[in-house]
Structure 1
Amino acid sequence: MAEDVFKALADPTRRHILDELVERNGQTLFEICARLVSKHGLSLSRQAISQHLAVLESAGLVRSRREGRYKFHDLDTEPLEVIVTRWLEPAESDRPDKRDRRGQPDRPE
C-alpha cells in the first residue's frame, strides 16, 4: 500500500490535484480540470486528469461518490497518516523509558 501512495505522490500533476482537493473537497472532474488550468496552467485532457484520479483512488488518497449524474472526488488522508506514523512512532524497545542505564533495551526478567 505504501508503494502505491509514493507512486501516486511522485507525479506533480497528482500533487496539484490533491492540493485542489485540500482547498475545496468534493469536486467534479470538470471542476478539477478548470482549477488546474486556471491556477497551475495545466491544460490536460479530461481523460488524462481522470487517469490521474484513478491512480490516486487506487492508492486510497481519493474517494469518489456519485450523486445523480455527477461524480464527486474527495480527499482521504488516511494513507498519508499511516505512512507518517510508521516512522514517527518509535518501536516499543526504542523508547527511552524502555532502556536500561547503558542505553540497551530492557530485558524482561
Structure 2
Amino acid sequence: MPNMSLEKVKMPEQEPGVRTGNFDEVALGYTGQMAVEEAQRCLNCKHKPCMEGCPVNVKIPEFISLIAQEEFEKAYHKIRETNNLPAICGRVCPQETQCEKYCVRGKL
C-alpha cells in the first residue's frame, strides 16, 4: 500500500553534542524498514519525471519499487546497471536539485 505522506522519512543523524567530538558521518542512514516506508511514497508515475533530473540515468522508479518490496540487493544491482559508482554518487549527488526537483510527490 502506498505511503501517502507528503513528508519524507526523516534521516537519523548523530546528535550535535556527539558529532562535535568525532569525524563520523552525521547521517546515520535508514534502517531497512525506514527505507521501505520512504520507497512506498513513490507514485510510480507513468512518465517518470524523476529520471529527467538524473545525469547518470538511474532507473529510479525501478530501484525504488524493489526497495518497497524489500529486495535491497536487487535494487542495488538495478542501480549498477547504469552507475558503476553508486556509493560515490549517493554521497555527492545533490538529489534535491536533480531527481527530487522533478518529482511530483511533494507538489500534489
* TM-score after normalising by structure 2: 0.30
- More contact order relative to length (CA 8 Å, sep ≥ 6): 2
Structure (1/2) with the larger helix percentage: 1
Which structure has the larger Rg over C-alpha atoms?
A: 1
The structure with the largest strand share of the pair is: 1
With normalisation by structure 1, the TM-score equals: 0.29
